[in-house]
Amino acid sequence: MSPSADHRPAPPPIPLAAGERETLETFLDFYRAALLDRAWGLTHDQLQIALPPSSLTLSRLIGHMAYVEQVWFRERLLGHEFDGDYADFDWDADVDAEMTLAQTWTVEELFTRFRHSVEDSRRRAVDLSLDALSVTTNSDGERWSLRWILVHMIEEYARHCGHADLIREAIDGDNLSS
């Protein structure tokens, strides 16, 4: 659904007594939806508003998380190459390349690319055990479990949803946090 659609989508319900995997995936999906909700109904120009001294905007946050989805589920977990725009970043020229790129997208493109990254992540993890280990390793040579990645992604989204709450409230006074 478009971020500017007349009907605001509800976040997915979180079951109170589910198994570990369903709980982790539902919380992650809740925060994915919450981030998009912070941009609901805004124009392209509004999505570019930052609160100085920070350069964070809602479009930059959504673009960052679309990229982070690919980092964790595509590149680190499975060792696959990035696709599309993400494959050609010049990090030396722009350390925030994924955020800078996101600012060039229309509202529809921003939401579509984010959703594509999320769907891609879901497809890559669906058949894996929570104990499955990543193909790539950290700087100490250790591998991440899918369980760890899901918890990390929940943490990452929760933190950025807090940023998005502040930005959205400054844009139009809409306090969307729940």
Give the model confidence (pLDDT) of 39-96 as tens digits.
Answer: 999 999 999 999 999 999 999 999 999 999 999 999 999 999 887 778 888 888 888 8
Q: Does a structural domain hold residue 166?
A: yes
Residue range 138-157, pLDDT digits in tens: 999 999 999 999 999 999 99
Measure the N-to-C terminal CA separation of the chain; round to a whole number of Å: 21
Residue 4's pLDDT band (cuts 50, 70, 90): very low
* pLDDT at position 156: 98
- Residue recorded with tokens 């991440």: 144
Q: Does a structural domain hold residue 41?
A: yes
DSSP 136-172: EE-TTS-EEEHHHHHHHHHHHHHHHHHHHHHHHHHHH
How many domains does the chain contain in total? 1
Q: Does a structural domain hold residue 7?
A: no
C-alpha closest to that of 27 among 37, 12, 38, 10: 12
C-alpha closest to that of 117 among 36, 26, 20: 36
Q: Does a structural domain hold residue 117?
A: yes
- Which amino acid, one-letter code, is at 154? I
Q: Does a structural domain hold residue 94?
A: yes
Q: Does a structural domain hold residue 43?
A: yes
Residue 1's pLDDT band (cuts 50, 70, 90): very low
Residue range 85-139, pLDDT digits in tens: 788 888 888 888 899 899 999 999 999 999 999 999 999 999 999 999 999 999 9
Q: Does a structural domain hold residue 17?
A: no
Q: Does a structural domain hold residue 102?
A: yes
For 114, the domain range is: 31-172
What phi and psi values does residue 145 have, to the nearest 5 degrees? -85, 160
93, two tokens: 């020229």
* pLDDT at position 6: 57
* pLDDT at position 87: 80
CA dihedral (152, 94, 124, 118) positive or negative: positive
* CATH, residue 113: 1.20.120.450
From CA 41, how far away is CA 39, in angstroms rounded? 6
